[in-house]
Structure 1
């Protein structure tokens, strides 16, 4: 590929509290820098100064209106701060990654494959796909039904999606309980408010480990993983996001081959090359490399 064909972009990370630290940030950034073309800038939105960050990682102060204790728990509504107006510079498109993402290859095609600068892309997480049908359903039900995604990876043009943060803050004013509303999780709110322009991050580039590799029945996982087109797609993956505390990168690196892994939803997989395909060795190599450069999410 010619250098002129590479779309410039910026990497955005978000951190609060003490679950993750500078080592986790450094390891992820090092992996992206080594594998991805066109990276122009790295920005970390943080709630406090972080000692030990690698050179070239810029920091942005967390907008205080999003540092609500209830928003920094399981619903992760604090992540919506990355859509605050004029926080992330609007001169480059952006890719956001959760800190428990393992990078395997070049992420820049996520930028090149975008067709609409107003669009926002996240991981697909429901059977109903993002697209014309989901937009019609969203419109006909006045927003009560809509396709949903996962915000472990977000691709957007800063400055074009400021309405996400603005509308969330407006709706949250005077409200303490988000139960039964799209506001109960950041990814639900993104899916709901951006439904007219949202699209899925391509599954041949990024997947969430439980959604891709773990199923309720082992026999079904073996059958699905043996399909030739599935193995080919998995072999091309550029990143895999992990479910944080449930399946940590360090845990996978130390797990004996053939071990069974079960998540909180009862989904299962066998930690083996036969189950995951060639991507398992790439995943192991990337986890160990990130750990050696100051950060795996363990």
Structure 2
């Protein structure tokens, strides 16, 4: 950039580099999705088309950004995780968040017609997302964050499934259904579903109960305890990697298939059989 007398304005920019050697989670949320879902007549309590569209956009984000190691989505939100060794955009908060948000939104809009072929997008009901970045010091806390989102998915889905069943099949008003569910626990909701409507919540589709996990597929390994200490990743180790080594790792990540699963990520087994997510080192590509 050429020097000029106006260049002093750069001094007003504030540094926004995220702490090194920490997990970065960029979480995006739909803006005004309640109105958008009503306008496009999303099926309640869950519209499989809308969830599959979210997952399709998330897969494309993972493909475009090999530095990402895992993502988790439910409803109109998605969390994307960068490994502590990530140096993308020099770990600048604004660049990471805006790249994730804009890339996700672009693919969401581009793929809309695949999932809603008879319902074209129309202003002012256009999908958009906001985002924020949060850093976590170690994998134990990162896993607690992921577990929190999955528990939230279960709690919200059980409530919504019960609520909309009472309204749609039970003929109750929204107000009456909300009032009856106030103060109930999960056992109460399960009982309402089973005794009144013959619905066993355990038989509901896993995508609704567990949300969606997006990650790169390498060969599964035998479960072994994973390291969760605070100093689990050394930034010095990352610095010693040559450019060719870093490029090789990125190529392996790009070659790996990005998959969508609807599985338990609270228990250890998911992480122990997929150690490449925590270690940041690609596994072996399936034969």
| Shorter-chain TM-score tier | under 0.3
Normalization by structure 2: what TM-score? 0.25
Larger radius of gyration: 2
Kindly indicate whether structure 1 or structure 2 has the higher relative contact order, using CA contacts under 8 Å at least 6 residues apart.
Answer: 2
Query: Whose helix proportion is higher, 1 or 2?
Result: 2
Normalization by structure 1: what TM-score? 0.25
Query: Whose strand proportion is higher, 1 or 2?
Result: 1
